[in-house]
Amino acid sequence: MGRMLIRCLPFLFAALLAACTTAPVAQYQNPIIHADYSDPDAIRVGDMYYLVSSSFNNAPGLPLLQSPDMVNWTLVGHALPQLVPLEVFAKPQHGKGVWAPCLRYHDGKFWIFYPDPDFGIYVMTATSFAGPWSAPHLLAAGKGLIDPTPLWDDDGQAYLLHAWARSRAGFANVLTLRRMAPDGSRLLDDAGKIIINGDKLSRYTTLEGPKFYKRDGYYYVFAPAGGVETGWQSVFRSRSIDGPYEDRIVMAQGGSPVNGPHQGAWVQTPQGEDWFIHFQDKRAYGRVVHLQPMTWRDGWPLIGEDIGAAAGQPVARYRLPVTGQAAAAPPSSDEFNGSTLGLQWQWNANWQPSWYALGDGRLRLFAQPRTGNLWDVPSLLLQKLPAETFTVETRLDAAGLAEGGVAGLVMYGSDYAWLGTRRLDGRTQLALVSCYKADAACHEQQEAGVALPSSQVWLRMRVIAGGVTNFSYSVDGKTYTPIGAQFTAKMGRWVGAQMGLFSAGPTGHADIDYFHVTP
């Protein structure tokens, strides 16, 4: 027995060595983008993945992201420089504008179909994903038409499926199929046909956000239902494009901490693996982006972790779809050293070139007039919250402010708070200001304030879990002094809270040296 054990030791040692030296499987962690890229749609062209999302009233709109692996995403531009009609969106139109878009690649070009619930469904095209994109073409005019998704069938016929917004149309929870010219120039019928009616299905409410696909002779409609914060992902299938359709819930929260996992895109790798990109609503942080594995069983997809039911549940971690790619994420910091603003910045409405200037390594924000709080000010320079916890620092020089002017760093939503400077009686003062229920015309209240020894001040904002925000300031760029009480960030209308910069007043300007964001 002893000799046998001795003879076996080299083999045992080799097996143990192999087990210990096997490389761990590279994994990603959800959410893959902890920022408000709402209602994402994604496709693959070649070896690259592309993603677009809602942008509502912010301009530029329709952010464009690309990734080599569906995990590490780079923001490469915006498809919509200004919202149309231009005059309507010259003022903030909170919760309006660009709702859930659909991205496709067909006939050698990229297509975006996007809805404006007050005007209709627009279509844009580009030969290069980063642009330039064609001007929006109004494909279908009307109120309440939302969430369009096209399908070019094998026989050359083209179709458009869309949902409805109850707030404009007076009804919802149904999906309507329209015939469309293959070049996307017009619809070929007058009203279309309801092919999926959520009112006739048990438990279905708020059926919307469809995405149209075809596989193995079946027409598939991936569509969420149940509401933004508490819903689930369903799939409908039929052998005929106009139905009847069977339905199945293919992903729900289950035992995971991910509420309302739904609305997104089925994407396939070149090797034939299936994945699903969707959002989770996190209130102040907006609708953050998740990636789920997807498998097929008996002609039905199962999304997420298999828990022994028809519906999967979201995974927290999983193996990377593609390995060996560099880490990437949408930008947040800006040194203001270039000739253009960083791609992360969006304005609160259609923007004017006269609002700002770049030069000498700084951003100059020209004060714009306002008559009330910041809710209806178009010239706010904003971006998405980039993580659950982070710190923002900026240096502001208020020497150029006119009497009565204000400028500063803002955490913006239907409640907001800003830390910045006031010019009063020829002196520069620091002020922490809050406004609760900004969308209901609240009046700003100064929570704290101090006199400043000069026009230059360093401002800091620290955000922790739940959007809890603490402000502090420095007069030398080294020692920071806390100011005021904690403020809890609050979402806007259909969007998460946003952070950024502003300058308001009769005339004058404020200069900002940088905007640094650290995780």
Domain boundaries, the chain: 27-319, 346-518
Q: List, for residues 226-242, the tens digit of each pLDDT value.
A: 999 999 999 999 999 99
Mean pLDDT of 384-392: 98
Considering the chain, what is the average pLDDT of its residues? 95
Closest of 426, 462, 433 to residue 449, by C-alpha: 433
The mean pLDDT value for 485-511 works out to 98
The CATH number of domain 27-319 is 2.115.10.20: yes
Is 260 a residue whose pLDDT tops 60?
Answer: yes
H helices, E strands: number in the chain: 2, 36
Main-chain dihedrals φ then ψ at residue 52, nearest 5 degrees: -130, 165
pLDDT for 190 equals: 93
Q: What is the mean pLDDT of residues 475-504?
A: 98
- Write out pLDDT tens, residues 402-427: 999 999 999 999 999 999 999 999 99
7-16, 246-255, 284-293, 468-477: which has the minimum mean pLDDT? 7-16
pTM of the full predicted structure?
A: 0.95
Share of the chain above pLDDT 90, in %: 95
DSSP 147-194: EEEEEE-TTS-EEEEEEE-HHHHS--SEEEEEEE-TTSS-BSSSS-EE
Angle, vertex CA 452, rays to CA 450 and CA 458, nearest 5 = 100
Q: What is the pLDDT averaged over residues 109-135?
A: 98
pLDDT digits (tens, 9 = 90+) for 61-114: 999 999 999 999 999 999 999 999 999 999 999 999 999 999 999 999 999 999
Tell me: pLDDT of 225 over 50.
yes
pLDDT of 405 reads 97
Structure confidence at residue 519 (pLDDT) = 86
The pLDDT value recorded for residue 24 is 81
Per-residue pLDDT, averaged over 194-200, amounts to 98
Q: What pLDDT sits at residue 22?
A: 55
Which residue bears the tokens 């009307």? 142
- Domain 27-319 and domain 346-518 have a common topology: no
Please report, as a single letter, which amino acid is at residue 77: G
CATH ID of 346-518, from 3.40.50.720, 1.10.3720.10, 3.30.300.130, 2.60.120.200: 2.60.120.200
**Catalytically active residues, by annotation:** 39, 208
Q: Is residue 17 scored above 80 in pLDDT?
A: no
- Is 2 a residue whose pLDDT tops 70? no
pLDDT value, residue 164: 98
Per-residue pLDDT, 23: 61
